[in-house]
Chains A and B, each alone.
Chain A
Amino acid sequence: MHVIVVYDTAAKRNPKILRTCRKYLHHVQRSVFEGQLSEAQLRRFQAAVETVLDLTYDNVLVYTFPPGTTPVRHEWGATKPAPTDIL
């Protein structure tokens, strides 16, 4: 399923979160990640993120979209190329 992850963490933990997210998802903005995950991968991802987070301070949002659908994406400003599998 399509997943969008947004995080808001204390500055000193940012790099750790970033690294964990990069293993599973495409980096689309400073604290925004996007990609396709299976149910199992999502659970594994959540477990991995939880070990890094301070749950009393940090906050992570995970948006999931029903399987087979992709959200429409509009972009403004200096754009990075959208995640693709042809490089």
Chain B
Amino acid sequence: MPAATRTYWLTSPCRIRRKDESLVIERDAAPSVHIPVTDVRDIVACAETDLNTSVVSLLNRHRISVHLLSYYGDYAGSLLTADTSTSGETVLAQAALARDPQASMAIARSIVDACAFNVRRVIDRKLLARPYTVLQESIREATTPLHLMGAEGTFRRSAWEVIDTKLPDWLQLNGRSRRPPKNAGNAFISYVNGIIYARVLTAVRLTPLHSGIAFLHSSMERQRHSLVLDLAEMFKPLFAERLLLRMASRNQLKHHHFDRDTNQAMLSDTGRKLVVQTVRDELAVTVTHRALGRPVAYDELLYLDALALTRHCLEGTLYKPFRIWW
């Protein structure tokens, strides 16, 4: 990932305009801001955003993707640049793996295992020890991706129950609910998951992988980047669950960060800003990578994982999905 460029996060309703071969962000509430195009890696628009053809052509020229999150905070879509690092060879190799039931099941198994490992690591090692061994057993017995997802669902349900014991009453999940999220905790998780999905998509676009050919999730679904769903799986606990627990225990999340109705909840404007800031800072946190022997930002981990999968497709190097190692 280029080092000198940044992700821009739009947290209030705005219009992106092109001016002097650069970008201007116009907002109702605040004065407009010029942002230098050369400084932008991609844009995550968390609020309503207007843009037009001339902006899109400028973004395209600078290879900047825009990710859009909907009103409720789930992923709404992306404006991807036309130009990608394409490689037919990689896509063919990836498709061959996906077609081969044994090979794709192996990848799907390791993804589910790594995801559960991370969930357990983040939430509670002791309480989830038993569900985790049960899951590992069912992973071994599973014969189709559907079985795997079922097993993962069971594990996740126990995980949600454990996480509730660590949250204050008003943030408890009471089971996962989406579209729209039923309560504050779910709204938070949905929102962060949406952001992570967008980040993984950016990472995948930097590799020659095809974002529609997946191993665990169904490749057949239209208009979805199934591969991104696969890869995002391991990273969701690192951000969503982990940040929820942390922010709850530090009392950073307050009632006014959420707009709540009887049966649905979403982040308020201030809440959205706070969450975006937290995720942005978290993405910049570095850990020492054992194989690379240098500090690596969380954001780069997504890219490294996508690269590892590329190598698995092309060279047959065993793909080990991301596990929290620290």
Residues of A whose CB lies within 8 Å of any CB of B are 19, 22-27, 35-38, 41, 44, 81, 85-87
User: For residue A19, which residues in chain B have a CB less than 8 angstroms away from its CB?
Assistant: 20-22
User: For residue A37, which residues in chain B have a CB less than 8 angstroms away from its CB?
Assistant: 4, 38
> Is the pair B8, A24 in contact by a Cβ cutoff of 8 Å?
no
> Is the pair B39, A86 in contact by a Cβ cutoff of 8 Å?
no
User: For residue B14, which residues in chain A have a CB less than 8 angstroms away from its CB?
Assistant: 87
How far in angstroms is the closest Cβ of chain A from B4?
A: 4
User: For residue A85, which residues in chain B have a CB less than 8 angstroms away from its CB?
Assistant: 6-9, 280
Residue of A nearest to B11 (CB): A86
User: For residue B37, which residues in chain A have a CB less than 8 angstroms away from its CB?
Assistant: 23
How far in angstroms is the closest Cβ of chain A from B28?
A: 13
How far in angstroms is the closest Cβ of chain B from A25?
A: 6
> Is the pair A24, B38 in contact by a Cβ cutoff of 8 Å?
yes
Given contacts A23-B37, A36-B39, A41-B38, contact A87 B20 (CB under 8 A): no
How far in angstroms is the closest Cβ of chain B from A24?
A: 5
User: For residue A35, which residues in chain B have a CB less than 8 angstroms away from its CB?
Assistant: 36, 39
- Interface band, chain B: 20 to 34
How far is A26 from B280 in the complex, measured between Cα atoms in Å?
Answer: 20
> Is the pair A36, B2 in contact by a Cβ cutoff of 8 Å?
no
Enumerate 19 A-B pairs (CB-CB under 8 Å) in ascending A order: A22-B20, A22-B22, A22-B34, A22-B36, A23-B36, A25-B36, A26-B36, A35-B39, A36-B39, A37-B38, A38-B2, A44-B38, A85-B6, A86-B9, A86-B11, A86-B273, A87-B12, A87-B27, A87-B35
> Is the pair B4, A38 in contact by a Cβ cutoff of 8 Å?
yes
Does B10 touch A at the CB level, under 8 Å?
Answer: yes
> Is the pair A26, B34 in contact by a Cβ cutoff of 8 Å?
yes
List 3 tightest A-B contacts by C-beta distance, closest first.
A38-B4, A19-B20, A86-B9
